[in-house]
Structures are given as C-alpha cells and as structure tokens.
A and B are shown apart, each in its own frame.
Chain A
Amino acid sequence: MGSGHSDTAAAFTAHKILIAGGFGSGKTTLVGAISEVRPLRTEETLTTASVGLDDLSGIGTKTTTTVALDFGRITIGSRVVLYLFGLPGQERFSFMWDELSYGALGVVILADVRRLSDCFPSVNYFERQRLPFVVAINCFDDAPRYDTEEVRLALDLDSDVPLVLCDARDLSSVKQVLITLVETIAARRSGVASRTVTPRT
C-alpha cells in the first residue's frame, strides 16, 4: 500500500455538478432548494468596503455574498451521491474555478437578465473547459421577461447549449434544470460526443 490507499470497497460514489453564475444570481438559493442538507454557508456581510468591488446595482437588498464554498448533497439510491457546488461568482475568485471544475460532470450557469453580463465569464470559462453546461435564467419576480432566443443571442450560445427558464427557489423547477443538464451530458456522450466542434458562423 504505502500511499495511504486502501482496497476498501467504496460505499458510495460521489459526483459533482457545479452551479455557476454572477454575484446574486441565485446560486445559493438553487442549491438550498434541492439539497438534502443545507449548504455549507460561508457568507460574509458586505460592508461599505466591498461596495466598490461588488457591484450592488439591481440586486435589491442582498447584503451578504458567498465567498467560499456553498454545497449541498443529494443522495441517489444507496450508492450514488450527487454534490452541487456553488462557484464563487465574482471573477476575483476565479482562481478557485479550476479546482472546483476538476472531475465535474457539468455545470448549471444561472443568469439574471438584469445583469446578463455577469455570467459572461462563466460561459467563457466553461466553453473553454469543454464541460457540458446549461444556462438557466433565474426568473426573479421583479425582473423583466425576455424571449429566451434574445438571451441566447446576447450570450452567443451554441445552438446545442440548452437555455431554460427557472425559479431557483422552487424544487421542481431546479429539479428540471438538473435533469436537463444530465440529459445533455448523456446526449453528448452517445454519438453526439464524437461530433467535432463546428466553427460558428
């Protein structure tokens, strides 16, 4: 042995889905809506010191921000556990993204149409990483409604990237987003996976 590894049979296998998106886009809410356990919250209160760093316009009264990891777990049957990890949204935390992406099945990128540009870094990053992702527009009560195709254009998404509407507070809605993601991952693998990426016109 020597390296500290055992031949102990794994009691379960752990799998990871990332929840990305801009600051205040609802990542924590989404994880909390579906997870078996409340996520580990490592939130810090925004003080006046961070107002210059974290753009607060258009996100209502949110006064805390997730600075570290926020995760929840969903037990699937007896041998599979699915973990949802919220990625720290701000680009200044992007040094953590590489580690968090390691071994991830795929990504849900949450978008807030009032601040669509906040999810540009995530979209860019996961396109480069070639990780399967879906974009979920979190329908905030007071946000304007846009046609999903307008959003697709604005994000310059490939046609095979699913774009869905969701309510991050609602279990069945969040469930549907995750199902869409896992179906996308599965579809990519079966045949579609071998398709070469065609340059966009």
Chain B
Amino acid sequence: MPPGDKWRRRDSGPVVRPYAVTGGRTEPAADEMLDLLTVVVGTGQPAAADDPARLTPEHRKILSLCGQQITVADLAADIALPLGVVRVLLADLILQGAITVVRQRPAGQRTGNDVLQEILNGLRAL
C-alpha cells in the first residue's frame, strides 16, 4: 500500500465503474433519441411484467423520479449517474413500457417566435 491511503478518501468518487450498473452495456436498447432535453414520464404501467426482479435499484430510482414529466438532463443530475448510463437504463424502461417519451414538438421544428417572446419576457422579469 503506498503511503497516504489516497484511494480511500471520501472524495475518491464512486467505487463501482459507471457502466457496471448497466451490466456493461453502453448503448441504449431502445431505438430512442434521448437528447438532454427529451422529456420522459412514467406510464403508470408496471415495468417488465414478465420479470420485475430484473429491475436494478437504479431502474427503480429512475422510475420513482419519473412520476412527473422530467428532462433526461434533470434526471441524470437528480440520480447522480453519468448521462450515458441514464440513457441505457431509461431505454430499458421504455422498452418495458414503464416510461414513455413525451413529444415536445415535431422533430426539427424550431422554437416558435411566441416562445421566444415568452422567454424574453420571463428573463426581463427575473
């Protein structure tokens, strides 16, 4: 052991490598575009009706945070897991029907002028 057990300090970070919680998978299973600002929400359906035991604690944590519509970015921040990991876990839950993606606006359509005006007014009022 090298002097000054530096690997045991409290701030040494997680002791499990990030993708351990996905079983080593780095690509989401569902063919979903999970952008940072993609909004997801729980469907209220039980996940993985066939074998709920396969839900990891992280899956359950995500489910518990998806009671209300939430962005992928907020989810990743709340659950304190790397974004890539959250995407994999989210995709699992989407495949299992427990979580769904909330359509924001037609893909590729830019933010409307009315929304820009709303943002401007909101910023001025801060």
Mask, B99-126, CB within 8 Å of A = 1, is: 1111111000001010111111111101
Q: Which of B36, B39, B99, B101 interacts with A85 by CB under 8 Å?
A: B36
Let me know if A103 and B43 touch, CB within 8 A: no
Does A14 make an interface contact (CB < 8 A)?
yes
* Chain A nearest Cβ from B13, distance in angstroms: 9
* Chain B nearest Cβ from A91, distance in angstroms: 21
Q: Pick from A48-56, A135-143, A171-179 the stretch touching chain B.
A: A171-179
Let me know if B74 and A73 touch, CB within 8 A: yes
* Cα(A178)–Cα(B113), bound, Å: 16
Does A71 make an interface contact (CB < 8 A)?
yes
Q: Which of B1-55 contact A (CB under 8 A)?
A: 30-32, 35-37, 39, 41, 43
Does A158 make an interface contact (CB < 8 A)?
no
- Which bracket fits the contact residues of A? 35 or more
Does B56 make an interface contact (CB < 8 A)?
no
Q: Which of B32, B95, B101, B116 interacts with A182 by CB under 8 Å?
A: B116
Chain B residues within an 8 Å CB radius of A100:
36
Chain B residues within an 8 Å CB radius of A10:
39, 69, 102-104
Q: Which of A1-24 contact B (CB under 8 A)?
A: 3-16
Question: In this complex, what residue of B is CB-closest to A85?
Answer: B36
Chain B residues within an 8 Å CB radius of A175:
123-124, 126
* Cα(A175)–Cα(B124), bound, Å: 7
Q: Pick from A74-82, A112-120, A147-155, A162-170 the stretch touching chain B.
A: A74-82
Q: Secondary structure of the B side of the interface?
A: mixed
Let me know if A14 and B119 touch, CB within 8 A: no
* Cα(A13)–Cα(B110), bound, Å: 12
Chain A residues within an 8 Å CB radius of B83:
68-69
Let me know if A77 and B122 touch, CB within 8 A: yes
Let me know if B122 and A16 touch, CB within 8 A: no
New contact pairs (5) apart from A105-B116, A178-B123, A182-B116, CB-CB < 8 Å:
A69-B36, A71-B77, A77-B118, A80-B119, A82-B122
Q: Closest 9 CB pairs between A and B?
A: A76-B122, A6-B100, A40-B77, A4-B94, A14-B37, A11-B69, A186-B116, A182-B120, A5-B101
